[in-house]
Amino acid sequence: YDTIYNNINLDHRSEKDRTEKACRQSGAYDFVQKFPEKENSMIGRNGAKLSGGEKKKLAVARAIIKDAPIVILDEATAGYDVESDSYLYDILLHEFTDKTVIMITHNYKHLEGMDRVYRLSEGRLEKLK
């Protein structure tokens, strides 16, 4: 059990402005603002008060805050509506330009902007691009 703010800022060091910016960039800002205490709202055990898409948006906000050199996304947009899917894809292309992004996806549309593309088929890794 913890707050939205602490869920994004696992080290509890980021300033509120930086957290808000990460929420805006990840697409989480609008739903966070609907909670009574905004980013200070408790989200329940394992994010019980959040939808699957909302959890994923917080995970992207967490990745933005963490500023890790490698970001791994496993079916990151599964369960997203078309608008949210497109929004996350734009984030990947614009916010993670200096990162290595490993994206596991069945959505071939997401592969268009990637520098390298591999396919795992019948236990073999095949380079496509």
Q: Helix 16-26 vs helix 52-66: angle between axes, to the nearest 10 degrees?
A: 130
The overall longest dimension of the chain from CA atoms, in Å, is 49
Question: pLDDT, tens digit, for every residue of 11-28?
Answer: 766 677 888 888 888 888
Write the single-letter amino acid at 128: L
- Mean of all residue pLDDT scores within the chain: 82
Structural domains in the chain plus CATH codes: 1-66 (no CATH), 68-129 (3.40.50.300)
Angle at 112 between CA 107 and CA 89, to 5 degrees: 65
Q: pTM of this prediction?
A: 0.75
Question: pLDDT, tens digit, for every residue of 40-50?
Answer: 888 866 666 78
> Which residues contact residue 13 at a Cβ distance below 8 angstroms, ignoring those fewer than 6 apart?
none
Determine the pLDDT at residue 124: 93
Q: Given pLDDT bands bounded at 50, 70 and 90, which one contains residue 73?
A: confident
